[in-house]
Amino acid sequence: MCVGIPMRVLSSEDGMAECEGRGRRERINAMLLADLAPGAWVLAYQGSAVRALSEDEARQTNAALDALDAAMKGGADIDSFFADLLGREPSLPPHLKDKPA
């Protein structure tokens, strides 16, 4: 399965970034993004940083990946991984809502 993972930038130079996330460390291509400062979060996919993430987005994405891991191992309670979604009605993002005629 190919899934992008959040990685924190440790250093970057000449279009490459040394990053770590989800228990691994790797050097990834960062040419799609502007200068990456140490501590910045990126979504890494197949060896490239494809977009910048906020710290909150990185946390939520890691929680979703933890839920997937728990489900694959037979975990029954995955709700705890989605605390930001519990107790509220789902809502559509603005670009998917009906526009007035």
Q: What is the DSSP letter of 64?
A: H
Residue 87 lies in a domain: no
Residue 91 lies in a domain: no
Per-residue pLDDT tens over the stretch 32-83: 998 899 999 999 999 999 999 999 999 999 988 988 888 888 876 777 777 7
Range of the domain at 10: 5-79
Strand, helix or coil for residue 12: strand
CA distance 87 to 49: 33
Q: Mean pLDDT over residues 77-100, rounded?
A: 77
* CB 33 within 8 Å of CB 51: yes
Q: Inform me whether the pLDDT recorded for 1 exceeds 60.
A: no
CA distance 20 to 22: 7
Q: Inform me whether the pLDDT recorded for 8 exceeds 90.
A: yes
Residue 53's CB is within 10 A of a number of other CB atoms, namely: 21
Residue 32 lies in a domain: yes
Partners of 25 in the β-ladder = 20
